[in-house]
Structure 1
């Protein structure tokens, strides 16, 4: 790989989350719930003021009547390291489409932990915490990851230039490479995701997500809270338990 190509490598410490399209509001919960008692007249709730039915949303959340929260849809564009996507895709209630290294040349954008990212794990799985680590460890992580990425992408380019197929050449690339995807879900699926991928002191059930997927989850939650504020508030007050 030439010197010019080498300088094009980018290092990032953040993630991108954008709302592409949605059909999601608190009113969606109301008409879906009231069909059980009002039948076809529940359609009147589509134009109703959700504030007048805050109590119903709270009741559904508290007593875990979950299906009314499924009548919504949100599609997010996410750009993050591949290792984040591999955790993300354990949530099979989302629909995913990710860019493919078989069909396009992958861009040299790689993840390097930000200075504030805690580096050292203390304790065993299920009962552990992370601490900052030393300056020497922080320097080691930054320098080693960057050099590893440079070597990996150099090998990738060399194989491509030699005529090797993209799907073969990509095998040398690490999971710190950035990828992009569309992820579509309903509010119930998103609440399940948030309950597991964010850490909050007031959660009924503690969760210990990896820092990088929590960055994605926090951005998604901020967007969702604006779309469905009453549902989000009920989720919070119920201990962040998915109904």
Structure 2
């Protein structure tokens, strides 16, 4: 269960107390505002605030005073142009704030994206909940032999269950010891010291505020098929939110970022030679073996959205 009854009551109270505003709002975002979308076994992601919409991107690009009278198709065309030519500042005019509950090891990957404001639950001030991430059986996988930071195929069921047993045993034991050390009638250890005993699959929470440009950079990397599954599922849920918030921007993002590849100058030379009818192999391509494999993988890859 990702949310407690108290948390759900708090969210319901927020949703039933709408605020009047003169600023532009997005009906689809107003519908999902505060709503938690459950991720993994105990995690969630929800929007707690946002500023701007597709119109704000267009307004910033044209530096106009109002929303204008241009057709929606013209605005969408401008957004596609901005995305295609990697103009970033108009997208920085929009911001969004998420409340995320996630395992500590996922948070440590996530925090590498530094262009955001973050306020994390303080284990110096409060006691972390007894909640640990345990992967589904089909996500308990062997180390990849070709990628030092990736997975290969799932382990057989018996081995996977043994891994889950060890993960649960260790997390539970460490949390038991955490409580023992914190006990004011016993050791009474400071919270800032006791927390070091917790395992990395313990859940934490934070507020994460980011502008639209940097959100898309995060999503382009973390929704990629090569990203770790546990962070990718958060990114995929956030892409659904992106579509509700800025549909024209989301469509351009899918077209020019998620569904696109970048070829090096050397790769483009090979493609031009092929188009000219030349038989080009790895040996006479000028590319390294890894570059050759990567180029062909991009050419053979299916479009991620059909």
Point out which structure has higher relative CO (alpha carbons under 8 A, 6+ apart).
1
Q: From the CA coordinates, give the structure whose radius of gyration is larger.
A: 2
TM-score in same-fold range (> 0.5): yes
Shift in Å, 1:43: 1.8
Residue matched to 2:65: 43
Residue matched to 1:26: 54
TM-score in terms of structure 1 length: 0.84
Which structure dedicates a bigger proportion of its chain to strand? 1
The alignment of Structure 1 onto Structure 2 pairs a total of residues equal to 218
Residue matched to 1:5: none
RMSD of aligned residue pairs (Cα, Å) = 2.0
Q: Does 1:133 align with 2:133?
A: no
TM-score in terms of structure 2 length: 0.67
Query: Are the counterparts in 1 of residues 44 and 102 from structure 2 also a CA contact under 8 Å?
Result: yes
- SS in structure 1 at match of 2:227: coil
Q: CA offsets, 1:49-99, max 9 Å, x none?
A: 644411101111111111101000100000010011101000011110000
Query: Are the counterparts in 2 of residues 30 and 50 from structure 1 also a CA contact under 8 Å?
Result: no
- SS in structure 2 at match of 1:22: strand
- Find 1:190's aligned residue among 215, 219, 222: 215
Residue matched to 1:149: 171
How far, CA to CA, are the matches of 2:90 and 2:67 in structure 1? 13
Shift in Å, 1:199: 2.0
Query: Are the counterparts in 1 of residues 220 and 257 from structure 2 also a CA contact under 8 Å?
Result: no
Residue matched to 1:220: 238
How far, CA to CA, are the matches of 1:127 and 1:143 in structure 2? 23
How far, CA to CA, are the matches of 1:135 and 1:23 in structure 2? 47
The runs of 5 or more residues in structure 1 that have no matched partner are 1-11, 36-41, 201-207
- Find 2:205's aligned residue among 176, 180, 185: 180
- SS in structure 2 at match of 1:179: strand
Identify the range of structure 1 (89-98 vs 43-52) with the bigger mean alpha-carbon deviation.
Answer: 43-52
